[in-house]
Amino acid sequence: MLAYRQGNAGAFETLYARHKGPLFRFVLRAVKERALAEELYQEIWMRVIESRGRYAVQARFTTWLYTVAHNRLADHWRKRGLKLVDAAEADDPPAPRGFEPEARAEGRQALQRLAAALAALPSAQREAFLLHEEAGMTVGEIAAATGATEEAAKSRLRYAFAKLREVLDDG
Amino acid sequence: MAETDRDDRVTQAYRALGGEEPPRALDATILAASRHRPARWRVPLSIAAVLVLAVGVTLRMLPPKPDAESVALAPQVIQTPRPAAPVAEVARAKADKAPAAPAPAQPAAARAPAALQSARRAETRAPAAPGSVQQTDTLAVEGAPRSAPAVAAPAAADAALREAANRAAEQEAAQPDAVAGAAAEPQVRDAAAASPAPSVLSAAKLPEPARTPEAWLERIAELRKQGREREAQESLAEFKKRYPDYKIPEALTR
């Protein structure tokens, strides 16, 4: 990112190639709508490009990138009258029909249940889980990216894993 | 099974859900945006353009400076000599009513105060330019005695009047003798000499044209012939004061 800030366009291409898949999946599984996910995904990268002049090394680039993504998603939920919560909310939008993740041959049903369970997680827990799985972030980094305390981030992650384990165990 | 293992199962199951990727068109859009960088010189150029525009507008809004010609002309316009009607009229009225005023060579305290004040007012209305002062002084001192001292304004009078009076005296010394006029002339000359403001006086407004001593004596003789003895005597007295060294014919001195 520092190289990109100094004018090296190739440095951005390297960053983009490394983070485009995880970030896209993070956004996709957070909003559950592909068209909306693509729109938000593009906006997140535009913010990264526009912020290159102000970028300062305070944490890993991954933490900074997902902080931007978190803020954009929070803006999205705010416009819809929603907010990231720990507990399951009645107004948490359910996954739309037709949202079916790609499934492997073995355990297709289990995977489908897992996908449904992931979509059903409270948004804060789902976010913590996705940051852990897609971005490889630690509890501290999750806390920094989401603006939460480490205890809150740890709790959200634990509950997310617990619920997903139940689904797999029930399978 | 340890919780860590169970977490690994969740992770593996999650990975099995598939790795969605963004569409290629979206990749291209984002990469193209990353390559677009505004030229570094654009911002400073924009700032410079705004500054130039602001300065230009400000300068256009400022009132225009008067050019040198209009400034130079203005005093001349103001200083155009004005007719000395008020002073001449006052002097003429005095000549009609009162006896001869003290000679112009007398100290300032003997000057007609009204004439001095009128001259001062006239000077205030139209301040004198050096050139016009010289010219007017030349007219004013015609008929004045050669050796007449400089006209002196009162100590409390305007400094400009004193200076102009001094210049008038210098002119007197350099000028040839002027012909004395009738009884009204001393009055007018007194007023003119006491009022060095050239704007007050003009040659066209002097009650009588400038006369030589000989013409003045002829005038005195004429007054006697007309039986205007008193006027003749007053005029003769004035003449003697103006020209103390002039040899007056015996016929006129009786």
Is A111 within 8 Å of B13 (Cβ atoms)? Answer: yes
> Under an 8 A CB cutoff, do A24 and B22 touch?
yes
Residue-wise pLDDT tens digits, A83-114: 655 554 434 444 444 444 454 455 677 788 88
Residue-wise pLDDT tens digits, B102-156: 444 455 445 545 555 554 554 455 444 444 444 444 444 444 444 444 444 555 5
Q: Which of A4, A24, A161 sits opposite B10 (nearest CB)?
A: A161
Is A4 within 8 Å of B31 (Cβ atoms)? Answer: no
Is the CB of residue B55 less than 8 Å away from at least one CB of chain A?
A: no
A103 φ, ψ to 5°?
Answer: -115, 145
From B20, which residue of chain A is nearest by alpha-carbon distance?
Answer: A25
Is B235 within 8 Å of B216 (Cβ atoms)? Answer: yes
Give the minimum alpha-carbon distance from B23 to chain A in angstroms, rounded to a whole number. Answer: 8
Is B181 within 8 Å of B64 (Cβ atoms)? Answer: no
Tokens of A11: 């440095």
Is the CB of residue A9 less than 8 Å away from at least one CB of chain B?
A: yes
Q: Which of B14, B20, B23 sits opposite A114 (nearest CB)?
A: B14
Output the CA angle B32-B38-B42, nearest 5 degrees. 165
Neighbours of A51 (CB within 10 A): 13
pLDDT of residue A7: 75
Q: Which of A38, A107, A111 sits opposite B26 (nearest CB)?
A: A38
B207 φ, ψ to 5°?
Answer: -60, -35
Give the minimum alpha-carbon distance from A144 to chain B in angstroms, rounded to a whole number. Answer: 22
Residues of B in contact with A101 (CB under 8 A): 17-18, 20
Buried b / exposed e over B156-177, threshold 16 CB at 10 Å, is ebbebbbebbbbbbebbeebeb
- The phi-psi region of residue B252 (left if phi > 0; otherwise alpha if psi is between -120 and 50; otherwise beta) is alpha
Is B29 within 8 Å of A42 (Cβ atoms)? Answer: yes
Q: List chain B pLDDT tens, one digit each, 254 residues.
A: 455 555 888 998 898 887 889 999 999 999 999 887 665 666 778 888 999 999 999 998 888 777 666 555 555 555 555 555 555 555 555 555 555 444 444 554 455 455 555 545 544 554 444 444 444 444 444 444 444 444 445 555 566 666 666 665 555 555 544 444 444 444 444 444 444 444 444 444 444 545 789 999 999 999 999 999 999 999 999 999 999 888 888 888 76
Sequence-distant (≥ 6) Cβ neighbours of residue B182 within 8 angstroms: B207, B208, B219, B235
Give the minimum alpha-carbon distance from B55 to chain A in angstroms, rounded to a whole number. Answer: 31
Is the CB of residue B31 less than 8 Å away from at least one CB of chain A?
A: yes
ipTM for this model = 0.78
> Under an 8 A CB cutoff, do A165 and B10 touch?
yes
Q: Which helix (H) or strand (E) covers residue A167, if one does?
A: helix A150-170
Q: Is the pTM of this model over 0.80?
A: no
